[in-house]
Amino acid sequence: MLVMDISDARTFIAVVEAGSVSRAACELHLTQSAVTRRVQRLEQAIGAQLIDRRKRPFVLTDIGQAAVERCRRLVSTRDELRSLAQGGVSPTREFRIGVAHALTELALIEPIDEMRQAFPAVVARLYTGWSRELVERVRSGALDAAVVLLPESETLPSGTDGAALASEQLMVIGSRDWRARAWTMRDAAEVGWILNPEGCAVRAWLQKLLGRVGMPLLVGVETYNYELQMALVARARGLGLVPSRLLTRSASRQQLCKIRVRGLEFQMTIWMISSVLTPPLEQPLNTLGHALKGRLSRAGNRT
């Protein structure tokens, strides 16, 4: 009879959360073969296959989907018992939070700090990514909650709970020298763009809008860094598409202007979404959501 090893359960959780064996191996500082062996050992202990390896990327079997949350509870309970055994201190709670790339400078400073001050026993694990990717990770249980940016026309993503925190306007921007120019969709397509890398929902939205009028999306530079994007736009290297709150604080703002292009309007909504949370995480989530809403209001976002 095989006995389940807690390290095998941790490794299985890491594989599910990372989305691949290779990424989990990097996070755990193990070889891929070691990660695979641990998952296989867990499957032997349970007596069932947890991962369908015939598909790329892999998917969890029905038993695997049920097992991952139970493994999380097992690991959490073990950590709580260890904490209590070490001097009777209050057990810590892990809170896995996803943050959309465009919102990291909001969520990584004041709101997280406020939540940690109110709930010092909660350990925040932060993950960044594209909004739709984070929504799927919340649905699957890989994340407890996420702050995401979605088109204004979309409602609360199915399979999640949460609330809209604020509206976000994305602006087409160009060099100040282009201020007096009358822009058409064709003009915007021909000049080219400086944008986020592929995977960005707004970039895909822009590409779709240009495609409707038969124009391609020409990207001259792609980078996650909005400040770098705006600096390049200021040098007339192309048009940009950035949140208005970032433009007002940019070091390049004096060299930039808003470009009005009929048909290119991008109104977004910032959502705080969550999975079904255990009671100890509900209050930290509410505190984080309240702090984020206040932070957004001060940044000029409408609520």
Residue keyed to tokens 């940016």: 149
Which pLDDT tens digit goes with each residue over 243-278? 888 888 889 999 999 998 888 888 889 999 987 766
Spatial CB neighbours of 111, under 8 Å, sequence gap ≥ 6:
288, 291, 292, 295
Mean pLDDT value of segment 285-291? 88
Query: Which residue, among 101, 95, 64, 71, has the nearest Cα to 7 in the 3D structure?
Result: 71
Please, which residues have CB within 8 angstroms of residue 133's CB and are 6 or more apart in sequence? Answer: 199
Predicted TM-score of the model (pTM): 0.69
24: pLDDT strictly greater than 90: no
The amino acid that residue 64 corresponds to is: G
Percent share of the chain, pLDDT over 90: 21
Output 164 or 94, whichever has higher pLDDT: 164
Domains of the chain: 1-91 (1.10.10.10), 95-303 (3.40.190.290)
Number of Cβ atoms within 10 Å of the Cβ of 96: 21
User: What pLDDT, on the 0 to 100 scale, is given for residue 1?
Assistant: 46
For residue 175, the SS3 value is strand
Q: Which is higher by pLDDT, 70 or 82?
A: 70
Quick one: what percent of the chain has pLDDT higher than 70? 90
Whether the CA torsion 209, 215, 216, 219 is positive or negative: it is: negative
Residue 107: the pLDDT is 57
* Residue 298 CB contacts under 8 Å (≥ 6 apart), including other chains: none
- Token pair belonging to 297: 């209001």
pLDDT at 87 > cutoff 70: no
Provide mean pLDDT across the span 140-164: 85
Q: Which two tokens stand for residue 241?
A: 């598409």
Residues 6+ apart with CB under 8 A from 131: 100, 146, 148, 149, 150, 201
Residues 207-247 have pLDDT tens digits of: 999 998 899 999 999 998 899 999 999 999 999 999 888 88
Average pLDDT, the chain: 84
What pLDDT score was predicted for residue 222? 93
- Is 129's pLDDT higher than 80? yes
Other CB atoms within a 10 A radius of the CB of residue 107 amount to 23
Bridge partners (DSSP) of residue 52 are: 59
**Cβ(128)–Cβ(104) below 8 Å:** yes
**Do residues 98 and 127 make contact, with C-beta atoms less than 8 angstroms apart?**
yes
Give the residue with greater pLDDT, 73 vs 149.
149
Mean pLDDT, residues 269-291 taken together: 83
At 114, the pLDDT band (50, 70, 90 cuts) reads confident
* Cα–Cα distance measured from residue 142 to residue 101, given in angstroms and rounded to the nearest whole number: 18
